[in-house]
Structure 1
Amino acid sequence: MGSNMKVAIIGAGMSGSLLANKLNEQGVDVTVIEKSRGRGGRMSTKRLSWANCDMGAQYFTFRDCQTKPLLQRWLSEGLISPWPFEPSRIRGGVLLSSFDKEERYVSTPDMNSLAKSLLTDVKIKLNCRVNRVTRDDTDELLPKWFLWDEQGDLIGVYNWIVSTIPAEQAADLFETEPEIYQSIPKRVHSPCWAVTIATKGEVHDDVQGVFGEREVSWLARQTTRPGREGVSSEDDPHYDDIWNIHFSPEFTEQHKDKSAAMIETMAFDWLNQLLIDNDKTEGIVAVEGYCHYWRYARLSLDYEQQVEQQGCNAIVDSSQQVAIIGDWTCGGRVEGAMLSAIKCYEKLLPFITFNKKRITVSEHA
């Protein structure tokens, strides 16, 4: 039995994709609205002429008992794979072992493949930015939200809105709704320059994932991840490795006005010097590069500490029929996005049930 409750989910990242999938399975009329042309949000895969590059989240974990069923389901469906490696850590420019027992996973074959799979049977509007929302409370049981795009055209009319976008963007969207606006934190994220570089030259096999310091917070050898092992054609050995480099929030803030070409050069110079200084290579050559500026990349230290103290702060307001969720509401990380979707779904279930009963009564009236 279907529900007559119409739900708009703003954002096709992990939280939006998972929630849409679960609501769709309950027969809810759900539409995902995404401003970009692809699914996955910060679980981003950039399709370039020379490779598909993981520009956003590099892996995810399943530490919470509420996400364990997802782990088993997605493993059995072949949507994710474990990424077993011994991470390294940089201290004073020296690569040191940083062995831990963390179980890390990646979506295969690309990081955005999981979101694509979750949204297979869900209605989605891509390349559509929600610029404004207005509200009609004529029907007290099913008030209506009107969503408008940047051209002032109506996107659609819905009973519930679920925002899964970064807090700063959500605050802008609900600026004309005082109660909702005041409940959304305004300074949550730090920026990140993310760079992907393809290189030629031999590098020791033990360099796979590295936790950095100062300039760089993370370095990964993308070609060691499951499903990314293939390199360029043997007939045209274009590159040997692909590297993902995430600059630190401090470095990014200091260099946010630099050109992408300049940031790529700085990233390669840093990578080459690190590998040479630690006897991991005799030298590598950059053959391709791509750079992306994430304005809302990771939680700021202050906000992360706040969430640790207060716990999940996802907002589900039944009186306004609005939910504000996303990884930032549950401590960041991909798993935080999953948790926010699970918690939102649980709070929406009574309304789904109510509307199913309502439509059944109406049919037999």
Structure 2
Amino acid sequence: MSNTDLHYIRSQMVAPMPAPDGRKGITGWLREKLFSSVKDTILTVLSVALIVWFLPGLIEWLFINAVWTGPDRSVCSTVVQGGIQPEGWSGACWAFVDAKFQQFLYGRYPVDERWRVQLVALVFVLLLAPLLIRKLPYKSLNAILLFIVFPVFAYLFLVGGSFGLARVETPLWGGLLVTLILSVVGITVSLPMGVLLALGRRSNMPVIKALCVIFIEVIRGVPLVALLFMASVMLPLFMPPGTTFDKFLRALVGVSLFASAYMAEVIRGGLQAIPKGQYEGADSLGLSYWQKTLFIILPQSLKISLPGIVNTFIGLFKDTSLVYIIGMFDLLGIVRQNFSDASWATAQTPATGLVFAGFVFWIFCFCMSRYSLYMERRLDTSRK
């Protein structure tokens, strides 16, 4: 074949063509994202109409007509900036949140001892942040400090009774303190326990498999409310006579067991998604069961299960509000308890308190969701 027969082959790539005029700028983005079809156009118009109808009143209630400071309910019920409230006036009573803010954070934890809670929270953030930031070194040391040393440190400081610290009984705990402890302990316990339960449910040993199946199905078939009642009321009946069992510890056990059962099913789904060839390849290398599981199967299954795992974490964080029914006051419980305070009893107080509690829950859940998306992008090897 002569050289003249190859003249049709390009030696350089063709320069990219410019995008059509209809796909450039804001107009192109709107056409592609919001008005690409008749259905999208109708939904966009309806959404904008709802926002225009709902948002101004919400902003007016939250900010414009809101009362931010004051000594008691009078600032939210009769007087606004020195004048009589007009008929039909309504606005958020943020003065109630401002007056009760410390109680929302710590419950009835003694005021002079709240520095201990602040210190524990600071240490937790300093140990957790390096684990979440990929480029920081010493991950193994950090994990040992966070999961082994920190729980002992937190218990000694929060409960007290040693090293010259006054003892603070758990019935005095409340607010965001209880919410965070319940959720952090539940998350920390449920993930490894869920992995073991998922592996046990897929085990070839009949006894192990049967025990894991019974545990998972029983826990998943019982509402968390019933499980908390059982942990609070029935668990002490199985203890030796005269044995006291802290109510807060009972709630921790109930929440952790409940989350573990759901976590096990999420992880089992990830295990079932692993192709059979991965197991056969590990067996062909002569790896033992635990080597195959720890180094090949689990890393892949956890990556697949990451959205479900984080979804379980978020659900657990919100479900901690159910401890209110057994006489413990988490953030939502302590907010609701203060509705009965006669000095702040107004028509706007309940709505304001619930909006505040909902916003705090949303902040934590949104942060977990965004970090989950970051981890999914980082672990998505199919895009690299």
Shorter chain as normaliser: what TM range? under 0.3
Going by fraction, where is strand more abundant, 1 or 2? 1
Going by fraction, where is helix more abundant, 1 or 2? 2
From the CA coordinates, give the structure whose radius of gyration is larger: 2
TM-score, normalised by the number of residues in structure 1? 0.22
TM-score, normalised by the number of residues in structure 2? 0.21
